[in-house]
Amino acid sequence: MADGNDFQRYLTELIADHYDIGRPVEVRTLQDTRNHTLEVRTDSARYALRIRGDAWWIADESELHFELDLLDHLAADGLAVSTAVPRRDRERIGVLDHGQRRRSYSLFTWAPGRPGARTPTGAHLVGATLARIHRSADNFVSHHHRYRLDEATMLTRQLPAIDDDLAHEPPETAAAIRAHISEIRQRLQDFNPGPSGWGVIHGDVQELNFHIDDGALTFFDFDLCAWGWRTADIAEYYTRIRHHTAHHFSPATRRCGHSTRPRTTCCSPSRASPGSARDANNPTWRPCWTTHSSATTRTPTGAGVCSHRPDCHAL
């Protein structure tokens, strides 16, 4: 796909032709990783354009419609979420035919405010909002399908890469981690999440995926939403808190406002995570895959984060 001014002009014309939002006055890249996300400004509003890249969890277009249906459902239920803007043909998904390959795209409403919730009050707001999302999602119905963030996805799928990494570790370290993986698998098989502990989840709860504006929180980027354990959303947020501030957030984030939801075992971290097994003689060893767990990672310092690198959640 072409870059620079030529591509921005192409997007400007595409949006002007296919959407009833006015002609864009600015189109600029916000992030270009797996997906290409751009800010679109008109004279009266801002939008977010997501151009899809390759994703292992998206098998077909039905999975894309599931996400967009979910957003419409949540918004209709009074949740503050970014929803897809319909094109003039009423479709929410379009196809770019520019450059070397075709890619789908959707235009989303803009989430007001700024990212971040670095206070106990903010952490509680995140949890309370997640509880409302989970409760609303219990009533969500769609004829489209979506992948499952389950044992096969979260654990089995990671094992080949983990085995490659363990081949370079001391035998006692590799043995300890493999034993812990077996323990995790058994706990997952025995885990009873309760009547509301399994359902549709956001799948990528982090500060870059919600904005706070005057005490109101808006979630967006449900690109990784899935059927999964509700604990995953809570723990995903907790494990993204930076190492040097995690101890300030632990109590608030573990409660995380989720007590607004009817109490079930979905709110209890009943599973160990892959990252809690490590070589006791090497306390700084924190493999990247620790943060892929849906349960809170326990490090020797007590912080629930992976310190390998801040973007290690990316698969």
Half-sphere CA count of 259, side-chain side, radius 13 A: 9
Average pLDDT, the chain: 79
CB within 8 A of 298, min separation 6: which ones?
273, 275, 276, 304
Domains and CATH numbers, the chain: 4-110 (3.30.200.20), 115-292 (3.90.1200.10)
For 53, half-sphere exposure in the C-beta direction (CA atoms, 13 angstrom radius) is 9
Greater pLDDT, 280 or 55:
55
Kindly tell me the sign of the dihedral angle through the C-alpha atoms of 150, 152, 158, 162: positive
The reported pLDDT for the residue numbered 259 is: 52
**Residue 45 corresponds to which amino acid?**
A
- The C-alpha atoms of residue 70 and residue 76 are separated, in whole angstroms, by 10
Helix axes 246-255, 230-239, angle to 10 degrees: 160
- Among 285, 46, 66, 272, CA closest to 170: 285
Q: pLDDT class for 242, splitting at 50, 70, 90?
A: low
CB 260 within 8 A of CB 130: no
| 163 Cβ contact list (under 8 Å, min separation 6) | none
Cβ-contact 21, 11 below 8 angstroms: no
Alpha-carbon distance of 183 to 214, in angstroms, equals 44
Among the ranges given (55-69, 128-142, 242-256), the one the predictor scored with the smallest mean pLDDT: 242-256
**What global pTM score does this model have?**
0.77
Q: Quick one: pLDDT at residue 118?
A: 73
Give the residue, 244 or 212, on which the prediction is more confident: 212
pLDDT reported for residue 11: 96
- The average pLDDT across 98-125 equals 86
Record the tokens describing residue 297, joined without a space: 């990672």
Q: How confident is the model at residue 294 (pLDDT cuts 50, 70, 90)?
A: very low
Higher pLDDT, 251 or 172: 172
Counting residues of the chain whose pLDDT is more than 90, the rounded percentage is 61
Q: How far apart are CA 150 and CA 227, in angstroms?
A: 8
- 37-84: per-residue pLDDT in tens? 999 999 999 999 999 999 999 999 999 999 999 999 999 999 999 999
Structure tokens at 290: 């620790």
- If one compares 74 and 269, the residue with the highest pLDDT of the two is 74
Which pLDDT score is estimated for 262? Answer: 42
pLDDT computed for residue 297 by the predictor: 30
> What are the residues whose beta carbons fall under 8 Å from the beta carbon of 22, sequence distance 6 or more?
16, 42, 43, 44, 45
Q: Which residues contact 81 (CB under 8 A, 6 or more apart)?
A: 71, 74, 75, 133, 218, 219, 220, 222
Of residues 266 and 228, more confidence is placed in 228
Please report which helix (H) or strand (E) contains residue 21, including its range.
none
Specify which residues 198 forms β-bridges with.
Answer: 229
DSSP string of 223-243, one letter each residue: TT-EEEEHHHHHHHHHHTS-T
Identify the weakest region by mean pLDDT among 37-51, 117-131, 236-250.
236-250
Strand order from edge to edge, sheet including 226-229 = 148-149, 226-229, 198-201
